[in-house]
Amino acid sequence: MLVDTHCHLGDERFDDDRSQVVGRARDAGVGHVVVIADTLAATTRAIELANEHGLSATAGVHPHAATSWTPRVAQAIEQAVGDPTVVAIGEAGLDYYYDNSPREVQRKVFAAQLELAARRDLPIVVHSRDADDDMVALLEDSDATVVLHSFSSGNDVLQAGLDRGCYISFSGMVTFRNWRNVDAVRAVASDRILVETDAPYLAPVPYRGQRNEPAFVARVAAKVAELRGVVVAELARQTTANAARCFGPRVTLQPN
Ligand code: NI
């Protein structure tokens, strides 16, 4: 059994066939999907879908939407955390590549969500792009359990993540011909590695360029296993045990 630890199942690209997507995941041995939110509206939607399909949800605001963070939104996210389907805060973080929100706002909103995660004893799913120095500084300031999602950062973030015991999650990017971070895939301890799709984005080879979906996490697992020199059954066992330790036992439930 595999767990897709990061899927934007609420994305409109799944509106026409969401139930089939969940069914195909189940048929492919993907036992569970963590439905990721990136805004308050997406948080509400993720919880709805998690309840409907027997999955898990996150609650949080992405750096792209950091300017949407108001006291009212903060309070609504805090309230959403009380839903039994919510297993993590996020996705939250820093994105200095797109800079869709001012950087100081991104830092403030990320820090607030790190504080929320630590206080509510939930992991936080972290997005980091072209913001290595500030990411390292903010992570070192926090006690929260952290998942570095779709890891593709530089060596400083990797080292900081390894040192503070972050979970590190790999996506379909590991199957791309131009993937340069093989050392990172090998450096993560076997009790800290996770796999994800980031669907509908980042479809793995041979689906690159198409809509991604949770069933394809099997391709990610196969490539990560190959790069780490373990059989895929062992990688599946490790990553599923890690997902359950990180997010809690809910992520071992079968979807319906
Ligand atoms: Ni994402």
More confident residue, 157 or 252: 157
CA of 46 from ligand 1 middle (Å) equals 13
Give pLDDT, residue 252: 87
Produce one character per residue of 76-107: b if its CB has 16 or more CB atoms within 10 Å, e if not. Answer: bbeebbebebbbbbbbbbbbbeeeebeeeebb
Q: Where along the chain do its domains lie? A: 2-252
Pair 221, 195: CB distance under 8 Å: yes
Residue 255 pLDDT > 80: no
Produce one character per residue of 15-46: b if its CB has 16 or more CB atoms within 10 Å, e if not. Answer: eeebeebbeebbebebbbbbbbbbbbebbbbb
Give pLDDT, residue 64: 97
Which runs of consecutive H residues, i.e. helices, occur in 96-228?
103-120, 132-140, 155-163, 182-187, 217-228
Mean pLDDT confidence for 155-162? 96
Mean pLDDT confidence for 180-204? 97
Q: What is the pLDDT of residues 109-120, one digit of tens each?
A: 999 999 999 999
CB-based contacts of 216: which residues, under 8 Å, 6+ apart?
Answer: 172, 197, 199, 203, 204, 207
Residue 94 pLDDT > 80: yes
User: Would you state the structure tokens that stand for residue 1, as one six-digit string?
Assistant: 């059994």
Produce one character per residue of 161-189: b if its CB has 16 or more CB atoms within 10 Å, e if not. Answer: bbeeebbbbbbbbbbeeebebeebbebbe
Mean pLDDT confidence for 65-77? 98
Residue 151 pLDDT > 80: yes
CA of 27 from ligand 1 middle (Å) equals 23
The CATH number of 2-252 is: 3.20.20.140
CB-based contacts of 208: which residues, under 8 Å, 6+ apart?
Answer: 172, 175, 176
Residue 254 pLDDT > 90: no
CA of 201 from ligand 1 middle (Å) equals 8
Give pLDDT, residue 141: 94
CA of 92 from ligand 1 middle (Å) equals 9
User: pLDDT confidence of 10, banded at 50, 70, 90?
Assistant: very high
| Residues 224, 242: Cα–Cα separation, whole Å | 15
CA of 9 from ligand 1 middle (Å) equals 10
